[in-house]
Structure formats: C-alpha cells, structure tokens
Structure 1
Amino acid sequence: MGFEVTRFQGPVDEELVCPICTGVLEDPLQAPECEHVFCKSCITQWISRQPTCPVDRQSLTSAQLTQVPRILRNLLARLVISCDNAQYGCPRVLNLDTLSTHLEECEHNPKRPILCEQGCALVVPKDELKEHNCIKELRSLINKQQQKMNEYQHEFNELRFFIIEQRREMQLLKDFMRALKTSNPSMRAIADAMDREQQDREVVRWSSSLQRARVTRWGGMISTPDDSLQRMIKRTLTEMGCPSHILDDLMENCHECRWPPGLCSLETRQNNRRQYESYVCKRVPGKQAVLVLYCDNQHMGEEMMLEPGLVMIFAHGVE
C-alpha cells in the first residue's frame, strides 16, 4: 500500500500515484511493456488474482516486473512527508527517502521498545508500558521457556531411543556375523569383509561428529609422548566415543616409532612440513592434540598416512 497523499507537503504529481491504491508509490515496480508503475505490494497482490496490468489489461506476471527508472526514484525521494507518528505528537516533516531511518528512532513511536524500570528489566512497546505487569510477564516468559524445555526433552528422548535402536541393530548384526563365521567356514571371508565394512562406516560416522581443528604451530609437536600423557589422551578419546576397534591402534600411532616414513624422524618431518597443511585434523576436546584419521585423509600418500589414523599431540598451537 502506498502513502496517503494528504501526508505530503504541496501537490503530488499524478505520475507518482499508484493506480491501484491511489496512494503515493511505495517500493515501486514497473510493467515492462506499458510502463505503468505500481506499489510493489499492490501489484503483487493484483497479479496473484489475475496476471494482467490493472490499467490496460495487458498480460503481466510477477517475473516481468522491473525496477522503475532512477529519475522516478529521485522524484519520490524529494517528496516531503509528515512522520507516521504525527497523530502521537511528532512534528517532523522530512524527505520521503529519510522516513524509514527516522521511524526507527522516533520518540513518539507508540511501538518504540522501552526498558521496564519497575524491576523485571524486560523490553516492552511504549504504548503497552502502562498496562505492563512485571510478575505476569515474567511468569509468561518462564512458561514459554518451560514449554521449550519440554519440547527439547521430548526431542532428546526420541533421539536417545533412536540411538538405542541403532546400537541394538548393530549388535544383532555383529552377533549374526559372528554366528555366520562359526557355522559356515566358507562364508568367513565374506563375513570378515562385511564386518570390516561395518567398522569402517562406524569410524566415518564418528569422524563426522568431531570438530575440525587447525594446527598453527607444527613445530610444537610432541613426537615421543610419555605414558601419562598417552593415558590422558586415551581416556579423552574413550569419552569422545571412539570406536573400540581402533582405539588401541590410534594410541599406538601417537608415537613417532609407529609413524609413516614421512614423519618417523625429525629430519623427515622438517622436509615434509609443507604437506602438513593438507591434513584434515579433528580436535581432541580440551587437549592440545588432534586426530588425523585415515578416512578423512585418503588424499595423503602412504609416506604421510596410515590406518586407522594418527594421534598428534602438541605443546601448543592447536585451535
């Protein structure tokens, strides 16, 4: 809908009036063929009922509407209009292009947010401040928050049930594979392959749940961590839900004695430092350590990667 003509100072050219609402154009759009101009909301609503120009009935769709020429926008911008809040006491008269900015700050706006100073510190519209009841509003806010908490709890319970079912199905599959190996030796190779595939999928799912990490100081790498540091990292990996079938291998791969050729000595690590930036690293929460899992780093060569992955511990430099 356009602006009421009576709000403007002086006469308004009829070219600046919307043929649909007969108000001064607001967010104007133009029909490409006949060049008739309308308020955006007016013409959009019109076309939703009948796809024609309201003036000459030529075929017209929303996709065909275009922006009006700059000269028309400039003419609209120079029009002088009274504030929307004139009836509430605002005396301002200003150019149309500055109206929206003024309305955001107008102190006469009955809907201007006001901070309640009676104790609740809630923000309420100015015209509702007299009827504002702190206790009632706080109680309503608490009820809404409680309702959200109940919804979150319901979603959590559903998710937990889903996870339990997934684990149950996974255990049934493992039991089936174990029974298949025992009862039919000829199927053992197939069962082993299926078992490995299932384990690989489990690692990929776990990896996708971990947060990416960035190493800023590769020189801070601890290539020979002591037993206490290894135990601390292993405990953290267990708490992170690391699949049990790769946990021990990962921890063995935290020492340079088990690292691939490109990392197994200080000299080779220095020669290959440029390749470090290609690693996809996952964060070990709360620790200056990262996981470099094989499933995330199959683009790395054998000299820089091994299965199921590496644990790299640092003195500093992990973000």
Structure 2
Amino acid sequence: MRKVFTWLLAGIVLLFRRLGPRVPPPDGRAEERRPRIVPMGPPSPDAELVVAALFVATGLAAVAFVVVYAVDRIGHQTQFLGLSLGLAFAFLAAAFVVAGRSLVADEEIVEDYPEPHPEAQEDVLQIVDESADRLTRRRLLVLTGLGAGGALGAALVVPAASLGPLLDWDELREVPWRAGRRLVDERGRPLRASEIEEKVFYTAFPEGAPREDVGAPVVVVRLPPAHLKLPPERQGWAPRGILAYSKICTHAGCAISLYRVPLYPPATPTPALVCPCHYSTFDPAAAGAVLFGPAGRPLPQLPLRIDANGILRAAGPFSAGPGPSWWGARAGAQPQ
C-alpha cells in the first residue's frame, strides 16, 4: 500500500510538472527527444475548458461547504453540508472523466507482457510528456486543478480543526480547580466534611466555575483512613479519609456514576468507582488505580483540605489531566 501511495504521489507531481510551462535547456540547444511513443492527436480546447470549469465548480462547492459549516444561522445546515460536499466530489469526478476521455491519449496495443527493462521508467515519463503535448491551456488547467484541490483540502481540515484548539493546546489542560476553591453539590451548596458518609457516592463541582467543563465534576467518597493506600506524596490529600477524583473516565470520557460498596467485607471486593459505559473500575483507596476494564490510567485525584468552618476545599489541581487517556498522554503537562 505504501508503494502504491508513493507512486501515485509521484505521478501527480510529475503530471503537474509536465503540464506547466516548458523551460528550455540552459545552453540554448534544442531538447533532444526520443521517437514518439504516443501518436500525436488533435488538441481539444473545448474539453480543456470543460475540465477547467469543472475544477472551478469543485472549488466553489468546497468553499460553500466551509461557509455552511462556519455559519450556524443557515437553516437545514446538515442537508446543505451534504449537498455541497457531494457536489464538490461529483464535479471533481466529472473533471477526471472528461480529462481521461478527451485529453489523455488512449491506445490499445496487443502484445506479450514485456520483461522488466531499465528504460521502462523513461518510457513512462515520455508518455506523460507526450500526452500533454495536445493541451493548449496547461496553465489554466494547473491553476484550476490546484484551486479545486486546495478548496477540498480546506473542506476536510475545517471540521477537524473546529473540534478543538488548533494551535493553543494549553486550553485543553486548563481545569477550573484551584487551591482554596470550595466543593459544592448540584444545588450550589458547599459540602461539609461532617456530611460525607462512608458507602455513599457524592458528586461535587468547583464553586463559581462552569460545570460543563470536562475537568469540573468530581466524585467524593469517604473510606476508613486505615484502608487508604495512597502514595507517600499524597498522604495529606484525603483528610479524615475523604477523597475526590475526576468524574470523567480515563477510557472514553463517560461519567462515572456507579459506586461498588461491599456489604460483607470478608466475601466481597473493596469499594470501587465504576464507569457504566465499558465497566472500567477504579480503586479509590489506591489513588484511583485501575482494577478492571479498558481504562489506560488511574483517575486523576484532587487534593482536599478542610477549612476552619468544616467545608471541603481543593488543596491544589488534579494529579494529572482529567479526561480520556489520549488527553493526559498527548497533552503532556500537568493541569493548570
């Protein structure tokens, strides 16, 4: 497949080079040519204009796709997106069909399959060169072809670029949690440490920050301090056994909404946070470590502290970037 792509790319570059203006030899001598392989055919100026017009139509349809995608006020936007992109590819296909039927030399020769020959590559170059001899508007075809290709490229790049910051990746690492920010529930009421019970699952948000951010929601649980297995550098992150982790699963970004609590400790597993989408399971006692499922890394932990009024506050940012694994692995830096 790689060889096919390489040859295709080389052929496109070679074709545009051959269709461009001819540069005479630097010493002024006439270019020496081998005997023709492709018979000289009559020019087809009308077909060239049709191909150029189809290239222009391709570019206009692709530009229309970008405009419709960028302007949200357009009604029936989905239908117009499909129509504009479909027309762009239809015009491009029609241009290739007309060029192949009217501008490219077509000859059928019945002979035995030739053995590999060192001059085969030169013959290919000569055939491409001679096929372009009948063209009378090379520059027009090159310019319109490049314009159509550029517009189609923009139609493919613009939707991908709109999925996130194009150049400023720092925005993906910013989270609303800061040292001192209070944890509040769904109604905006601050969470008190005395109200957090064992075997109960709580959802909290940063006070005064947008709740729609992927780094905003956290899960809060309480475990016996003697059961915690946090790393040494996190010993002060769970006051009175209260822990907070990002609520966004590190596998596919689903919200963690299940809390497995053992009813009979000798016979059932330890408490665990479970994502309902693909059943990734995390151990809150062991810094959010993955116990089961496809998640590739632990849940990011939010350090906590209790203020003088008994209210839970963040003691700093997450231990890692919240969200699916590609976020933390590709963004690289700690959340800001």
Into which bin does the TM-score normalised by the smaller protein fall? under 0.3
- Tell which has more relative contact order, 1 or 2 (C-alpha 8 A, sep 6+): 2
**Larger CA Rg, structure 1 vs 2:** 1
More helix by share: 1
